[in-house]
Amino acid sequence: MAGAAGPGTGPGAARGDGDDSLYPIAVLIDELRNEDVQLRLNSIKKLSTIALALGVERTRTELLPFLTDTIYDEDEVLLALAEQLGNFTGLVGGPDFAHCLLPPLESLATVEETVVRDKAVESLRQISQEHTPVALEAHFVPLVKRLASGDWFTSRTSACGLFSVCYPRASNAVKAEIRQHFRSLCSDDTPMVRRAAASKLGEFAKVLELDSVKSEIVPLFTNLASDEQDSVRLLAVEACVSIAQLLSQDDLEALVMPTLRQAAEDKSWRVRYMVADKFSELQKAVGPKITLNDLIPAFQNLLKDCEAEVRAAAAHKVKELCENLPTEGRETIIMNQILPFIKELVSDTNQHVKSALASVIMGLSTILGKENTIEHLLPLFLAQLKDECPEVRLNIISNLDCVNEVIGIRQLSQSLLPAIVELAEDAKWRVRLAIIEYMPLLAGQLGVEFFDEKLNSLCMAWLVDHVYAIREAATSNLMKLVQKFGTEWAQNTIVPKVLVMANDPNYLHRMTTLFCINALSEACGQEITTKQMLPIVLKMAGDQVANVRFNVAKSLQKIGPILDTDALQEEVKPVLQKLGQDEDMDVKYFAQEAISAVAQRLTKLDFPVKDNEEPSAPGADKNHFLRPRGPGEDTGKGPAHQLHVNTRDTPAQLEIAELVHFS
């Protein structure tokens, strides 16, 4: 740590003079000199508090000079300092004294770490707005000039971000100097500086006079776009969007388009990628005439580029390009000049290209209309539904609603089904999970008859998947389907199949029955829950696996609010009381939890749990919840191990919940 405090500002001086008002700055200096980085960082984050304690005068005369002298520290400390100083104007006396903040920020703008420099530039830009025009020319512009002509490339790169904020309010003479400095940086020997200048070229162009844009910015753009470094050239493409918005059609054609055409055919794929990535913005900036004459041919080349990354970026922009075409003649342009290239991409060798196309191609149906969609797009959709890459198939399925609006889902259903079945049985569980999430959407599009005939069996199969995340998602899926198709459908189609699983030999499947009942009870209502679901839950209270039994208690607590008082009194109460005496402590715990919840509805019922008792099993201690299961009791699999934490739990119980973990 370099630098020292000035006379009378050190901690020794403060204590020696007996002046307690100096103590805050003394503490700050002590912590800034501490070997512990965290202490130094904490003291920097308290700068505003220290400054308030010192007052504006001493902040300017003592604190800021000290900070300026100590710009040699860990990057995280300097980053925090740069951020703090951006909000310091009010603490140094307001806009009239904003220039006092420039020296430490100037030093920070020259350090080696990029994130620190960027944050210092951000703070400087913020402070520049608080300068008066006179103060700007007196203090801020000289700082920009010093940075722009610094020996180290770090200062010159920082300067690039400051030109646009000081130029609009400068006098004409100073504006000429600023433009000259920017021109110098655009032709700097160091590629990093040229990169920084290219990244700020569009921003700077926006604040310049139109004549200066034509006479100075466009030549700079042309030079940067033909720079030997592709990292500079690709940034020039980004600047092209801003420059194109400022020029007339004639000026665009003469000054910018030759360079843009060159960029679209650049030898570096990274530059071509940037053209593809910014294509929609370029299209809007240059207007419809130039788009038809120049951009469409360029886009065709990008769609058949030799690099997959470029083709994928262009494929992502297909829908936006078509939407932004002029309405008159749009259909003809797409059919003749875009669609032939899209057809080639459908069978591309790279899966990322096909996936990118699949994510947007469905949107073309709303643009081209029913006849063209059926004749030209439908074969492409069906080809992608049969693609070997799961992501391609999923992207098509997730956007089916676009086609449904135009041609109706029946046109797709026969070819769609095999793809759905294949995805539903994919070896990767994440693929199966993704198709489950789209099932409610598909159900709404296909209709209940088609769904029952073709997809119902899939939804039931997911309930016994070997991955818990699939079983959980399938349970949630059933609830959404009931909400979509109604309780009558659920009673006839879903509930009987779910309840059959209660007799499954696998205890995980039996627990899935309970989870389904939890999810379906609210959607199905009291009658179905009481007559069909409750008897099964009560029967499962005698299950030999403790995990099932304590999930029975949790299920009874969950469906309790739906049941009527008679059912709670005559059926639920005896079962919960029996579970409360279970040999397994976890079962006892959740049974007591359920009893407490049910008691709120049955206020006259004589339950063993009194008001002043904790809702936990008698004699239970927190370490008991960590015990291993007995023989035959599987603790490491299935959803039932998830410990329920109630908002009324004591701190000890919450601690238990945090400790319990089953792999």
Structure confidence by residue, pLDDT tens digits, 245-289: 888 888 888 888 898 888 999 899 999 999 999 999 999 988 888
Across the range 208-235, mean pLDDT stands at 89
Percentage of the residues of the chain whose pLDDT score is greater than 90: 14
Q: Which of 128-132, 167-171, 414-418 has the lowest mean pLDDT?
A: 414-418
Q: Which amino acid does the sequence have at 268?
A: S
Distance between CA atoms of 278 and 290, rounded to whole angstroms?
16
- Give the DSSP letter string of 154-217: HHHHHHHTTHHHHSTTS-HHHHHHHHHHHHHHHT-SSHHHHHHHHHHHHHHHHHS-HHHIIIII
User: What pLDDT, on a 0 to 100 scale, did the predictor assign at position 613?
Assistant: 41
pLDDT exceeds 90 at position 314: yes
Across the range 61-70, mean pLDDT stands at 79
User: What pLDDT, on a 0 to 100 scale, did the predictor assign at position 446?
Assistant: 73
- Both tokens of residue 16? 């020696």
User: What pLDDT, on a 0 to 100 scale, did the predictor assign at position 151?
Assistant: 85
User: What pLDDT, on a 0 to 100 scale, did the predictor assign at position 21?
Assistant: 54
559: CB partners within 8 A, 6+ apart: 517, 518, 521, 529, 533, 534, 537
User: What pLDDT, on a 0 to 100 scale, did the predictor assign at position 525?
Assistant: 82
328-332 contacts at long range (C-beta below 8 A, 24 or more positions apart): 330/367, 331/367, 331/368, 331/369, 331/372
Q: Round the average pLDDT of the chain to a whole number and report it.
A: 80
Across the range 21-26, mean pLDDT stands at 60
User: What pLDDT, on a 0 to 100 scale, did the predictor assign at position 4?
Assistant: 37
318 pLDDT tier (thresholds 50, 70, 90): very high
pLDDT exceeds 50 at position 647: no
Report the alpha-carbon angle 450-456-458, nearest 5. 125
pLDDT exceeds 50 at position 17: no
604 pLDDT tier (thresholds 50, 70, 90): very low
User: What pLDDT, on a 0 to 100 scale, did the predictor assign at position 624?
Assistant: 37
User: What pLDDT, on a 0 to 100 scale, did the predictor assign at position 628?
Assistant: 38
Distance between CA atoms of 315 and 335, rounded to whole angstroms?
16
Q: Are 330 and 322 in contact (CB under 8 A)?
A: yes
User: What pLDDT, on a 0 to 100 scale, did the predictor assign at position 454?
Assistant: 75
Q: Which of 323-327, 385-389, 597-601 has the highest mean pLDDT?
A: 323-327
Across the range 165-179, mean pLDDT stands at 87
Across the range 607-636, mean pLDDT stands at 40
Please indicate whether residue 602 or residue 156 has the higher confidence score (pLDDT): 156
Dump pLDDT digits (tens) for 369-414.
888 888 888 888 888 877 888 888 878 877 777 777 777 666 666 6
3-class SS at 632?
coil
pLDDT exceeds 90 at position 316: yes
657: CB partners within 8 A, 6+ apart: 643, 645, 649
User: What pLDDT, on a 0 to 100 scale, did the predictor assign at position 246?
Assistant: 86
User: What pLDDT, on a 0 to 100 scale, did the predictor assign at position 619?
Assistant: 39
User: What pLDDT, on a 0 to 100 scale, did the predictor assign at position 453?
Assistant: 78
pLDDT exceeds 50 at position 564: yes
Distance between CA atoms of 488 and 402, rounded to whole angstroms?
30
User: What pLDDT, on a 0 to 100 scale, did the predictor assign at position 271?
Assistant: 93
pLDDT exceeds 80 at position 658: no
User: What pLDDT, on a 0 to 100 scale, did the predictor assign at position 435?
Assistant: 82
pLDDT exceeds 60 at position 605: no
User: What pLDDT, on a 0 to 100 scale, did the predictor assign at position 409?
Assistant: 66
User: What pLDDT, on a 0 to 100 scale, did the predictor assign at position 267?
Assistant: 92
Q: Say how far residue 495 (Cα) sits from the centre of its chain.
A: 37
Q: Which of 53-62, 129-138, 396-405 has the lowest mean pLDDT?
A: 396-405
Dump pLDDT digits (tens) for 107-130.
888 888 889 889 999 999 888 888
Across the range 277-302, mean pLDDT stands at 90
Across the range 154-161, mean pLDDT stands at 90
List the one residue out of 48, 93, 53 whose CA is nearest residue 67: 48
pLDDT exceeds 80 at position 231: yes
Distance between CA atoms of 438 and 443, rounded to whole angstroms?
9
Report the alpha-carbon angle 293-299-305, nearest 5. 140
Return the CATH number of the domain spanning residue range 489-606.
1.25.10.10
pLDDT exceeds 70 at position 425: yes
User: What pLDDT, on a 0 to 100 scale, did the predictor assign at position 29?
Assistant: 64
User: What pLDDT, on a 0 to 100 scale, did the predictor assign at position 634?
Assistant: 42
List the one residue out of 608, 595, 515, 591 whose CA is nearest residue 550: 591
Percentage of the residues of the chain whose pLDDT score is greater than 70: 84
